[in-house]
């Protein structure tokens, strides 16, 4: 990608720390890069100038650290050359959209990657080479759905890919948290609980007849649910996939393509 600090780009991809550094997510991040390249999307990143957005710091009560990160990021973003912001992580998306009031004085629209992919598929910038035959269910991330009202874009992507979507009983506004938001992804359960939220959620997905894949659109959801599939003994019954992985497979730019 371009270095948006040095040359103009239509889109600035704010990758997010979790999608960058977690070993289980790096392959998915690379898949999104291949998809954007296939769409010939004019995009750039901030490279080493991108810092943590401060979402988790604020959620665990470190308001001072959040403000420091916000101010430094806003300064970098104000000097970058781009039109629209793209985020991989709904938590980062929510923070940039709703908690960075001085971000380029509101000149730039902020999108989650599912919104961009839906648009690229609709306009024919991404072409599905082969429809996918999976039966799937989709989990609405808290910070994408309930906090920001983005429900249709991921489902439009799934429809374009040809998969059969079955909704879980708890979906859209009534979706169930993965248990990793608000800094909890690093916390151990301190009380005696019957079932972790992530375990409850994957059992709900696995209860749907014929569903093979639990589709997510959030890095933390991917990690939480992948672990929960193992701890609930559902390996071989249910696979967790990020929306990006399905798009990459359908347009022929997945790993090994």
pLDDT digits (tens, 9 = 90+) for 228-245: 999 999 999 999 999 999
The encoded tokens of residue 207 equal: 């209860």
pLDDT at 196: 81
Q: Which helix (H) or strand (E) holds 80?
A: none
Does position 97 have pLDDT exceeding 70, yes or no?
Answer: yes
CA–CA gap between residue 187 and residue 42 (Å, rounded): 39
The pLDDT mean for the chain works out to: 89
pLDDT digits (tens, 9 = 90+) for 39-84: 999 999 999 999 998 888 898 888 999 999 999 999 999 899 899 9
pLDDT at 106: 61
pLDDT digits (tens, 9 = 90+) for 22-31: 888 899 999 9
pLDDT at 18: 79
pLDDT at 143: 83
Q: At what angle do helices 243-251 and 152-161 cross, to 10 degrees?
A: 30
pLDDT digits (tens, 9 = 90+) for 100-155: 887 755 667 899 999 999 999 999 999 999 899 999 999 999 889 888 989 999 99
Does position 246 have pLDDT exceeding 90, yes or no?
Answer: yes
Residues with Cβ within 8 Å of residue 67, at least 6 apart in sequence: 54
Tell me the sheet residues that pair with 165: 136
């Amino acid at each position: 990608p371009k270095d948006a600090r040095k040359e103009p780009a239509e889109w600035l991809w704010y990758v997010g720390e979790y999608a960058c550094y977690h070993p289980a997510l790096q392959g998915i991040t690379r898949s999104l890069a291949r998809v954007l390249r296939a769409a010939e999307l004019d995009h750039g990143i901030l490279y080493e100038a991108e810092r943590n957005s401060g979402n988790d710091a604020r959620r665990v009560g470190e308001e001072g650290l959040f403000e420091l990160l916000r101010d430094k990021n806003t300064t970098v973003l104000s000097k970058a050359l781009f039109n629209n912001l793209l985020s991989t992580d709904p938590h980062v998306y929510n923070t940039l959209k709703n908690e960075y009031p001085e971000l380029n004085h509101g000149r730039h629209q902020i999108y989650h990657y599912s919104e961009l992919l839906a648009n690229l598929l609709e306009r024919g910038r991404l072409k599905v080479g082969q429809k996918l035959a999976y039966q799937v269910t989709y989990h609405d991330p808290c910070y994408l759905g309930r906090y920001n009202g983005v429900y249709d874009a991921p489902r439009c992507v799934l429809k374009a890919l040809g998969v059969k979507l079955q909704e879980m009983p708890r979906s859209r506004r009534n979706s169930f948290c993965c248990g990793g938001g608000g800094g909890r992804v690093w916390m151990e359960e301190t009380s005696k609980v019957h079932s972790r939220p992530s375990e409850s959620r994957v059992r709900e997905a696995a209860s749907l007849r014929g569903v093979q894949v639990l589709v997510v659109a959030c890095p933390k959801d991917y990690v939480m649910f992948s672990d929960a599939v193992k701890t609930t003994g559902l390996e071989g019954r249910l696979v967790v996939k990020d929306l990006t992985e399905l798009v990459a497979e359908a347009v022929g730019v997945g790993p090994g393509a």
